[in-house]
């Protein structure tokens, strides 16, 4: 939150939304969330509880670009395609100057996470054809 305050909010004035992902949320996190919200209230636009799986409830599989064209880079240098799917998680390390993206898109039967929602809303994820 301090990083966001100094490097984003001070430049843009854009407030953030705190999201309780129903797949990864535990009641023990509530106290910490409330503490963050109180301390950084001027940064927070809203707090929501979201079930990201609802976007994909009409399909069994998607063709996902995670690990090929979508990556999450952590501050310790780790590069992940998807932190929830083991074979997509390790794509290298920016600090070690290693990078190993997948050669193909991933056929995923678990489209339910916050990254899935983001990728889907960007139009980067396709529904898998039932016969392929």
Which pLDDT tens digit goes with each residue over 54-90?
A: 888 888 899 999 999 999 888 899 999 998 899 999 9
Between 95 and 20, where is the model more confident?
95
| pLDDT (mean) for 22-44 | 87
What six digits make up the tokens of 81? 């395609």
Structure tokens at 76: 């310790």
User: Rounded mean pLDDT of 17-46?
Assistant: 86
pLDDT at residue 132 above 60? Answer: no
CB 67: neighbour CB atoms within 10 A? 24
Mean pLDDT of 114-131: 80
pLDDT above 80 (res 23): no
pLDDT tops 90 at residue 99: yes
What band does 17 get if pLDDT is binned at 50, 70 and 90? confident
Integer Rg of the chain from CA: 17
What is the pairing mode between strands 79-80 and 72-73? antiparallel
- pTM score above 0.85: no
- Name the residue with tokens 């079930």: 51
Per-residue CA distances from 72 to 14, 32, 43, 111, 121 (Å): 21, 24, 23, 16, 16
């Amino acid at each position: 939150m301090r990083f966001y305050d100094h490097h984003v909010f001070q430049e843009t004035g854009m407030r953030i939304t705190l999201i309780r992902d129903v797949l990864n949320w535990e009641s023990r996190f509530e106290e910490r969330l409330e503490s963050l919200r109180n301390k950084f209230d001027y940064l927070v636009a809203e707090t929501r509880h979201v079930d990201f799986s609802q976007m994909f409830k009409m399909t069994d599989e998607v063709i996902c670009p995670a690990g090929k064209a979508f990556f999450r880079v952590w501050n310790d240098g780790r590069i992940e395609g998807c932190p929830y799917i083991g074979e997509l998680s390790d794509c290298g390390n920016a600090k070690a100057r290693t990078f190993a993206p997948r050669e193909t898109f991933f056929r995923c039967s678990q489209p339910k996470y916050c990254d899935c929602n983001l990728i889907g809303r960007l139009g980067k994820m396709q529904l898998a054809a039932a016969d392929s």
